[in-house]
Amino acid sequence: MGRHVGYGAARMFRNLTIAWILMINAAVAKEPVIVALGDSLTQGYGLAPADGFTVQLEAWLRANGHPAVVQNAGVSGDTTAGGLARVGWALGPDADALIVTLGGNDMLRGIDPATSRANLDGILKEATARGLPVLLVGMTAPGNFGADYKSAFDAMYPDLAAEYGALLAKDFFDGLVAAGADRSNPASFAPFLQADGIHPNPEGVKLIVAALGPRVVELLGRVGTKP
């Protein structure tokens, strides 16, 4: 009987030890933090909080087995200059990765792509200095400002991504195109946009997140390594 008691005590001690180790690991474990630096598209302009880009992206990541915290560092109306001015404090000590979605307001204002490029370069330089992997989300300029403007604007995203070894998503709105919207026909975007014809509605955000999600998973795969 004494032997059985000893065995039971040893087994209980082993189980308690395992439980203690699991509790410590759970306490130590930290979900990666992704900072989403952007403008109104990131901020969630015109949407209920639950329908915004960062909230839907975080939910998509969790639903697909990649739990992470997505911090909303979007400011409506922000340009690349504004993003550069605040990237230093937007990247807090808990930041593990960065998503950059800026340039749309530069384009709407006709800002020289060389200026926008220099600002994005500064943002990527800051992230690189901190050892943070980056997903650069591009935009596609219309032809309003001429072929030279469009060529320079569209090229700055892949050029900078290649220079800094960042991941690239060619266009924030690619998810809408995949769902049937046609860039040559602006009216085709209407089902996915709010009444202003610029910002996505909840369904539009869902499609955008579904298209960007796999690239964000790749971004998470780079956490803890040099970009």
The residues carrying an active-site annotation are 40, 196, 199
In angstroms, the CA 106 to CA 152 distance is: 13
Nearest residue to 106 via CA among 128, 133, 138, 134: 138
Torsion of Cα atoms, 25 then 225 then 89 then 173, to 10°: -110
- Helix, strand, or coil here: 76? coil
DSSP code, position 220: H
Please tell me the distance from the alpha carbon of residue 98 to that of residue 95, in angstroms, as a whole number.
8
Show the tokens assigned to 44. Answer: 């969630």
Contact between 112 and 153 (Cβ < 8 Å):
no
Give 203-218 as a DSSP string: HHHHHHHHHHHHHHHH
Q: Please state, in angstroms and rounded to a whole number, the distance separating the CA atoms of residues 47 and 96.
A: 27
